[in-house]
Amino acid sequence: MAECKIETRKKFVNMELKREEILIFFIEKQRYALRIDDIDRIIRAVSVTKLTDAPDYVSGVIDYHGEIVAVVSLRRKMGYPAADLKLSDRFILVKTGHGKLALVVDDIEKIVLPGADDVYDAKEPDAGGMPFIRVIRADDGIILIYDLERLLNEINETELQRIIADTFSSGEAI
């Protein structure tokens, strides 16, 4: 399995706005981002074992070096049409309060340190809003930066861990 380790680089601080490196990725040709500090590593998509009682945005689980990791489709979570997993898809592994979580994305673009003049705080989302913390205005479009903590709150990791435990305590193998 090919993978790349994301190493946290030194953060630069502007007097008015904290600038941080971000990883830009694609879902349905739209660019999104996560803060580098939220990412453990990026791996190529691998076979996913389905979970019967999981929410529709949970694709299933993978065995990552002996650890059972839930796989979340950001495509489904954001309301895009479901798509079959492709070998070109990537899993972004993030650390959570319960271990790791794999976020499925279509592709990875690059790591950047956006200019302070190009970053805007996102408005607080309404009840149906998406969990974005900042918006970047780039020469070739807009990039939405996910607030990982808010996203994880929406996912309900505790319930997801219960579903995984129930599935594998019943003898089902990965």
Summarised one tens digit per residue, pLDDT across range 47-75 is 999 988 888 888 999 999 998 899 999 88
- Burial state string for 29-62 with b = 16 or more CB within 10 A and e = fewer than 16: eebbbbbbebbbbbbebeebbebeebeebbbbbb
pLDDT digits (tens, 9 = 90+) for 78-95: 888 888 889 889 999 998
Helices 148-155 and 157-169 cross at an angle (nearest 10°) of 50
pTM of the model: 0.78
Cβ neighbours of 93 (radius 10 Å): 22
Q: H-helix or E-strand containing 166?
A: helix 157-169
Whether 8 maps to a domain, the answer reads no
Helices (H) and strands (E) in the chain, counts: 3, 14
Whether 148 maps to a domain, the answer reads yes
Residue 30: domain span? 18-169
Whether 47 maps to a domain, the answer reads yes
pLDDT digits (tens, 9 = 90+) for 98-155: 778 999 999 999 998 887 777 767 665 544 456 767 777 777 888 888 888 877 777 7
Confidence of residue 172 (pLDDT cuts 50, 70, 90): low
Whether 12 maps to a domain, the answer reads no
Give me the percent of the chain exceeding a pLDDT of 90.
27
Whether 2 maps to a domain, the answer reads no
Q: Residues 50, 131: contact at Cβ < 8 Å?
A: no
User: What is the reported pLDDT for 121?
Assistant: 72
Looking at residue 147, which CATH number applies to its domain?
A: 2.40.50.180
Domains identified in the chain, total number = 1
User: What is the reported pLDDT for 127?
Assistant: 41
